Structure 1
Amino acid sequence: MSPVTASGVRATWESLPAAVRAGVEDVLGSPVVAAVNQSGGFSPGLAARVRCADGGRAFVKAVGTPLNPESPDIHRREAVVTAALPDGVPVPRLRGTFDDGDWVALVFDEVDGRMPHEPWRPDELSVVVRAVTELSRSLTPCPVPSPLVAADEVGDIMLGYRELAADPPADLDPWERRHLDQLADLAASALDVVDGDTLVHFDLRADNVLLSGDDVWFVDWPWAFRGAAWIDSVMLLKNAAFHGHDPEPYLQDHPLLADVDPWHVTAFVAGMAGFFGSSGRRPAPPGLPTLRAFQLAQHATTLAWVRRRTGWE
């Protein structure tokens, strides 16, 4: 079980430029009188539950180019997706946005909930596995007009082993080194099977889930694309493996995998292992000092799952 968690160094409400705070308050329609800053996730930006003078509550995300030059566009992508989601989907409603070209803030309805325990508890994991299955069904056909397409969005990700094979690092796992070319071919083959007509979240892990009574909510949608209905279930189980759970029992008789060749799932998981192995060795992006360690920790647990599924000696 890995001690590494999905967390970074976040801005606080108080540290935001005054113009950004004012822009958020314009969206809210009332001044913010209290803010509880949230941890979790890798964005260097703000994540806060806020209370307004009129008694209203909301959840606010904000980031600017001074923190990371790419993060504002990530918020813009999330705004496009969440604004297009139909009513009834378990995703907090986007109330409005603030964007001055450098800073982007998103204002959502607040969900009175909490993240699952980390590491995953079996009871909570089972509930969320079922909820993800229903989420994928509810997002088929894809409800977002002209979203990005899976094969394009995961193209570079599934070629991570090709990158490693071109210049193998000295610290590669011995099994991984022996099978590097096979892994590269296997992962690349996933590009033939990831397309579909489901809106895929693609970043499902414990810190992007909220539990509220019997309800499960899904947050942080910037990486969403149109793809195969089973991808999010596999992504969640990859996170379960990271926390020490055996993902295989959850895959047995899974309703979204009944007609999917198991080798296609193995290829996709291999692609994720290659991505973590290649990206985790790169320098840390600005404002995200913990990201690479988290990727390398995920590489280790995802690789172990790939090794088990392939059965290669």
Structure 2
Amino acid sequence: MRTDWTALPEAVMKEVADRTDGSHAIPAAAGDHAEIAATVTGANGKLFIKAASTDFGVQSLRFELGVSEAVSGSHSPAVEWHFEVAGWLVVGFEHCAGPHADLSQGSSDLDLLGEALVALGDTPAPDAPLFTPQGRLGFEHPAMVGDALVHSDLGPANLIVRSDGLRIVDWAMAVKAAPWVELAMLVPWLISAGNTPAQAEEWLAQFRAWGTTDPKVLDDFAARNADKWAAKAWKNPAPWVSDLADWNGHWAVHRLTR
């Protein structure tokens, strides 16, 4: 549950205002990884600011801060500053404005995503605490172990198209794993955009990591991830959980019957 921006202590608000030379805030419309997330505008421009005060929230945001500082570059927003005051951890990120990526068949945004995936596949995991595949997914397989940086949540909401290319935001769930894990976790998002499972796999076939992965490994991944999300949907009626269960289920059935 997000906390309203105005609930921040006065000391935090003052520190933000000093750093931005103003603090007109517009809360983020989506996402729930941070207790507070907002676009803040001041005389120095715009920043995207996240803040947390609970033990879990601070731990999660500190994790995202460490990863973001390590990978900050052409495909991820830069960390402009961070501070801790009055029990709050506050991080100011580069503001990335633009539409969310369209992952449907024929979209030019898929080309931008493809370029980003190639770059990520060649990016070694930084020297920062990252999730293990089992810690992120809830199941394990020896083939998931690797040294690549895996964002693990490349849904359209985390893909922002700008005039200078694609920005990948929200690195709160980054994983150190084999490169194919990123591609496998992208399948349900491609299906969510209207691609069939076969079309999603056809697009992913352009990447070396996909072609060199044992099909039986992909079968196992699809089946176990589908089972996980089906169990989640049974316990949690939220529409987004049901959607992910459906998309992962469609892929698992495709792998089983292909």
Q: TM-score range by the shorter chain?
A: 0.7 to 0.9
Q: Contact 2:118/2:207 (CA < 8 Å) preserved in 1?
A: no
Native 8 Å contact 1:116 1:211 kept in 2: yes
User: Retained in 2: the 8 A contact 1:208–1:220?
Assistant: yes
Higher RCO, 1 vs 2 (CA within 8 Å, ≥6 residues apart): 1
Larger helix proportion of the pair: 2
User: Could you state the TM-score of these two structures normalised by the residue count of structure 1?
Assistant: 0.72
SS at match of 2:63: helix
C-alpha distance in 1 between matches for 2:256 and 2:20:
56
Q: CA deviation at 1:298?
A: 0.7
Report the alpha carbon displacement of residue 310 of structure 1 after superposing the two structures with TM: 1.4
Q: For 2:101 and 2:206, how far apart are their aligned partners in 1?
A: 24
Inter-CA distance 12–114: structure 2 relative to 1 (3 Å threshold): farther
Contact kept in structure 2, 1:132 and 1:232, CA below 8 Å? no
- For residue 198 of structure 1, what is the aligned residue in structure 2? 148
**Displacement after TM superposition at 1:138 (Å):** 4.2
CA distance in 2, matches of 1:103, 1:269: 39
CA RMSD of aligned residues (A): 2.7
Written as runs of structure 1 = structure 2, the 5 A alignment for 1:158-169 is 158=139
Aligned residue-pair number:
255
Any unmatched runs of 5+ in structure 2? Answer: none
SS of 2:209 mapped into structure 1: coil
| 1:58 pairs with 2:17 | no
The gaps in structure 1 that reach 5 residues or longer are 1-8, 159-189, 284-289
Identity of aligned residues (%): 23
SS in 1 for 2:68: helix
Partner of 2:117: 133
Q: Does 1:211 align with 2:161?
A: yes
- Check 1:252–1:152 CA distance in 2 against 1; reply closer, same or farther (3 A cut): closer
Q: Is the 8 A contact 1:200 1:227 kept in 2?
A: yes
| Equivalent residue, structure 2, for 1:224 | 174
Partners of 2:44 and 2:98 lie apart in 1 by: 18
Using a 3 Å threshold, how does the CA distance of structure 1 residues 208 and 223 change in structure 2: closer, same or farther?
same
Structure 2 residue matching 1:237: 3-state secondary structure: helix
Show the counterpart of 2:21. Answer: 30
Displacement of 1:116: 2.5
Distance 2:233 2:32 in 1: 14
TM-score, normalisation: structure 2:
0.85
Residue 11 and residue 124 in structure 1: after superposition, are their counterparts in 2 closer, same or farther (change >3 A)? farther
- Give the CA deviation at 1:64: 3.4
Q: Give the CA deviation at 1:84.
A: 1.8
The answer to whether the Cα contact below 8 Å between 2:131 and 2:173 also exists between their aligned partners in 1 is no
User: Which residue in 2 is equivalent to 1:21?
Assistant: 13
* Residue aligning to 1:260: 213
Q: State the distance in 1 between where 2:100 and 2:186 align.
A: 14
